[in-house]
């Protein structure tokens, strides 16, 4: 088991990628602290998973430093100490720069950037004190390739990629590895809900278009992101730090032939 003896805290664990990581990490022997805003829903989703006796489901608002400190203290009181931190919680808004509002920026940067900062700052000292560990951040293909009408989101994910490299450089001497995953379109409930909200009646066509966007011809599955996460959080990647790992079905490899209309 590749994550045996790892205690992994995952934020945003209710969602497609987050829940897939919880399931995959359990399969590999990890103890998992799964966190999200809706702890009751999180418990319901984690309960059927194999190895669920090794899951602790907790409510966590990544924008609240006091809540993060309280969770760390609660875990420590129970003898639970994190050595793998997965920053997966995310927010997104739709729009170009001229469409965006200050509130949009505050929402997206508050969760994606400040949230990562808060959780990492809260748990990193303890990880260092116990000999080191791993920080894994969920960025996006949008961190290296701007997405149409995702101004705030793309900017926030680019910030995550640089924050990851900074953590890697600053704490490598204290036993910390930091990497980020940059997926393209992942087929999650979020995507389906988003299409229903913004493109009612066009969901099927839009899903097909998203699949065609990736040259491999389909959307990424959450379990495929989780597989990369397992590698980056395991000792197999002991010499890997400061990296941005793209999962994109060939988007960044080069242009595809134009399709006839």
Active site residues: 153
pLDDT confidence of residue 32: 99
Q: Is the per-residue pLDDT at 96 higher than 70? A: yes
> pLDDT over 70 for what percent of the chain?
98
pLDDT digits (tens, 9 = 90+) for 181-201: 999 999 998 888 878 887 888
Residue 131 to residue 114: CA distance in whole angstroms: 26
Residue 85 to residue 80: CA distance in whole angstroms: 13
Q: Could you state, in order of their start, the residue ranges of all structural domains in the chain?
A: 7-184+222-244, 187-219
- Topology given in CATH for the domain delimited by 7-184+222-244: Rossmann fold (3.40.50)
Neighbours of 228 (CB within 10 A): 20
Exposed (0-12), middle (13-18) or buried (19+): which is 126, by Cβ within 10 Å?
Answer: middle
pLDDT digits (tens, 9 = 90+) for 139-160: 999 999 988 899 999 999 999 9
Helices (H), 65-202: 65-77, 102-109, 115-129, 151-171, 189-198
With CA atoms as reference, report the closest residue to 180 among 191, 193, 166. 166
pLDDT confidence of residue 261: 46
Q: Is the per-residue pLDDT at 260 higher than 60? A: no
pLDDT digits (tens, 9 = 90+) for 29-72: 999 999 999 999 999 999 999 999 999 999 999 999 999 999 99
Q: Which residues contact 11 (CB under 8 A, 6 or more apart)?
A: 18, 35, 36, 60, 62, 86, 87, 88, 89, 115, 119
Residue 55 to residue 47: CA distance in whole angstroms: 9
More confident residue, 213 or 241: 241
pLDDT confidence of residue 46: 97
CA 147, 150, 151, 155 torsion: positive or negative? Answer: negative
């Amino acid at each position: 088991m590749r994550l045996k003896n790892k205690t992994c805290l995952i934020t945003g664990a209710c969602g497609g990628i987050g829940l897939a990581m919880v399931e995959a990490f359990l399969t590999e022997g990890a103890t998992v602290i799964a966190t999200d805003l809706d702890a009751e829903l999180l418990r319901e989703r984690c309960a059927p998973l194999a190895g669920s006796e090794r899951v602790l489901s907790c409510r966590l608002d990544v924008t609240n430093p006091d809540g993060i400190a309280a969770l760390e203290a609660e875990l420590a009181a129970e003898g639970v100490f994190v050595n793998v931190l997965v920053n997966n919680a995310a927010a997104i808004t739709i729009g170009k720069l001229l469409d965006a509002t200050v509130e949009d920026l505050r929402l997206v940067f508050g969760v994606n950037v400040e949230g990562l900062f808060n959780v990492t700052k809260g748990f990193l000292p303890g990880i260092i004190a116990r000999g080191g560990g791993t920080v894994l951040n969920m960025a996006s293909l949008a961190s290296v390739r701007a997405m149409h009408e995702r101004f705030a989101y793309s900017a926030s994910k680019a910030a995550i990629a640089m924050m990851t490299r900074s953590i890697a450089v600053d704490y490598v001497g204290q036993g910390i590895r930091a990497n980020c995953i940059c997926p393209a379109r992942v087929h999650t409930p979020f995507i389906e809900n988003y299409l229903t909200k913004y493109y009612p009646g066009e969901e099927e066509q839009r899903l097909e278009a998203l699949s065609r966007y990736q040259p491999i011809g389909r959307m990424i599955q959450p379990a495929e992101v989780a597989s990369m996460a397992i590698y980056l959080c395991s000792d197999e990647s002991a010499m890997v730090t400061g990296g941005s790992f793209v999962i994109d079905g060939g988007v960044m490899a080069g242009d595809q032939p134009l399709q006839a209309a």
